[in-house]
């Protein structure tokens, strides 16, 4: 049976979640996106401000990438704590820690200390992402769950564009100014305290949580595919500006516009997931990897900006469907007492993919000669993934149910 298509069990007994809870959890899921893109526009300024600091060429990029690495490292632990202690408690603590560590660079004068504060941001993000996603799967089931998981990806894609633009505007005031935005989690935590609740309090599962092992037989295949899917998802988010620049464009407005159009395509793919979920995991993976393969190959071969944007739109629509498909595949069959750990493992593999994206594509570009060929090679890998799903997909999907 396909868990994406057939998971219709009711959510946990007790209070009934509605749009308010969904809005809070989706908004909380945007915090890791904020950490990933907000500071990108001020990195050149940081290089200038800390030019006399030893290792500045390494430390400045780490300010941007360290959170993603620590999300990957700590998400499984966050999932374990969520299952043992509770989702809401961990989420509230993590949101407050996120505000504390996120705004710390407003007062720090050492680049090393700023980089260290970003470690705290990453650990907080691991708990936030894991708890928000787990609570969505706790509160909702069936079509509602598909709707809000798709919405989670859609809003995150749109938020990435908004935060990137906002980071540029605020960064023009001062390199410190964008860090004020991290305080939004301290504001968001207030309605979370009053509007969210701990599902475990109304369940008899708490005492048995430690006895329930993580079902690696179920989570292993989705996690492995998500590692590759994460690289595919972030490939154009990270590298599309370089592609557009390579085609002779120097207008930052046009470059930003191209990224925005691609983000809208990701959002459209994500929101369509709720309507496509009935097709099942196998068919959705084939479609998603197929669109990504075609789109990346078009971007690779594009000799003009419109053609490159067209390819990015096709690929991004595919990845917009891909993420919620992979997530529902991973978590829909999990028992309540396993859900936090399963979600944590899935989140870890996604962010490992994010962290590896510039490394993998950079190494491939160096080997093949340029970035365009590297993106074409990734498109070819998506085509191979499509074939693998066609051959092995039904067996894998049924094995994880």
Read off the pLDDT of residues 264-290 as tens digits, 9 standing for 90 and up. Answer: 899 899 889 988 988 888 899 999 999
pLDDT at residue number 12: 52
Q: Does 1.20.1250.20 match the CATH number of domain 3-399? A: yes
**Virtual torsion, Cα 135, 137, 140, 144, nearest 10 deg:** 120
Q: What is the pLDDT of residues 161-183, one digit of tens each?
A: 788 778 878 888 888 999 999 99
pLDDT of 5 higher than 50: no
- Please give the structure tokens belonging to residue 345: 């493992």
Q: What is the pLDDT of residues 108-155, one digit of tens each?
A: 999 999 999 999 999 999 999 999 999 999 999 888 888 898 888 888
What is the separation of C-alpha 375 from the centre of its chain, rounded to a whole number of angstroms? 20
Is residue 268 a contact partner of residue 315, using CB atoms and an 8 Å limit? no
Residue 90: closest CA among 123, 139, 138: 123
Q: What is the pLDDT of residues 63-117, one digit of tens each?
A: 877 888 899 999 999 999 998 889 999 999 999 999 999 999 999 999 999 999 9
Domain ranges of the chain: 3-399
pLDDT at residue number 325: 93
For the residues of 207-274, what is the DSSP string, one character each?
Answer: GGGGGS---HHHHHHHHHHHHHHHHHHHHHHHHHHHHHHHTT---HHHHHHHHHHHHHHHHHHHHHHH
CA distance 356 to 343: 20
pLDDT at residue number 14: 59
Through-space distance between the first and last CA atoms of the chain, rounded to whole angstroms: 6
pTM value is 0.82
- Please give the structure tokens belonging to residue 375: 């993106």
């Amino acid at each position: 049976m396909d868990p994406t298509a057939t998971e219709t069990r009711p959510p946990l007994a007790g209070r009934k979640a509605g749009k308010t809870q969904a809005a809070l959890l989706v908004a909380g899921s945007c915090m890791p996106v904020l950490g990933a893109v907000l500071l990108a526009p001020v990195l050149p300024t940081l290089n200038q401000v800390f030019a006399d600091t030893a290792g500045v060429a390494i430390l400045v990029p780490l300010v941007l990438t360290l959170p993603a690495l620590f999300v990957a490292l700590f998400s499984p632990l966050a999932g374990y704590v969520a299952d043992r202690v509770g989702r809401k408690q961990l989420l509230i603590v993590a949101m407050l820690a996120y505000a504390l560590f996120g705004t710390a660079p407003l007062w720090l004068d050492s680049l090393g200390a700023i980089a260290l504060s970003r470690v705290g941001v990453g650990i907080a993000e691991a708990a936030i992402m894991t708890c928000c996603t787990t609570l969505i799967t706790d509160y909702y089931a069936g079509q509602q769950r598909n709707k809000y998981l798709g919405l989670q990806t859609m809003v995150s894609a749109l938020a990435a564009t908004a935060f990137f633009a906002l980071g540029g505007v605020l960064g023009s005031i001062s390199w410190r100014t964008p860090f004020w935005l991290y305080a939004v989690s301290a504001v968001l935590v207030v309605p979370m305290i009053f509007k969210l609740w701990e599902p475990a309090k109304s369940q008899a599962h708490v005492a048995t949580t430690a006895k329930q092992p993580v079902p690696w037989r179920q989570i292993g295949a989705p996690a492995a595919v998500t590692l590759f899917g994460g690289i595919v998802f972030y490939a154009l988010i990270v590298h599309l500006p370089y592609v557009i620049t390579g085609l002779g464009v120097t207008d930052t407005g046009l470059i930003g516009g191209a990224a925005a159009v691609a983000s809208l395509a990701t959002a459209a793919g994500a929101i369509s997931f709720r309507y496509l979920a009935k097709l099942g995991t196998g068919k959705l993976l084939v479609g998603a990897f197929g669109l990504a393969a075609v789109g990346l190959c078009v971007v690779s071969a594009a000799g003009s900006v419109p053609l490159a944007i067209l390819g990015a739109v096709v690929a991004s629509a595919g990845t917009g469907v891909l993420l919620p498909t992979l997530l529902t595949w991973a978590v829909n069959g999990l028992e309540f007492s396993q859900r936090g750990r399963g979600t944590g493992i899935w989140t870890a593999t996604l962010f490992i993919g994010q962290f590896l994206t510039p490394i993998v594509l950079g190494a491939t570009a160096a080997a093949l000669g340029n970035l365009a060929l590297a993106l074409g090679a990734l498109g070819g890998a998506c085509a191979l993934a499509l074939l693998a799903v066609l051959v092995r997909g039904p067996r894998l999907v049924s094995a994880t149910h």
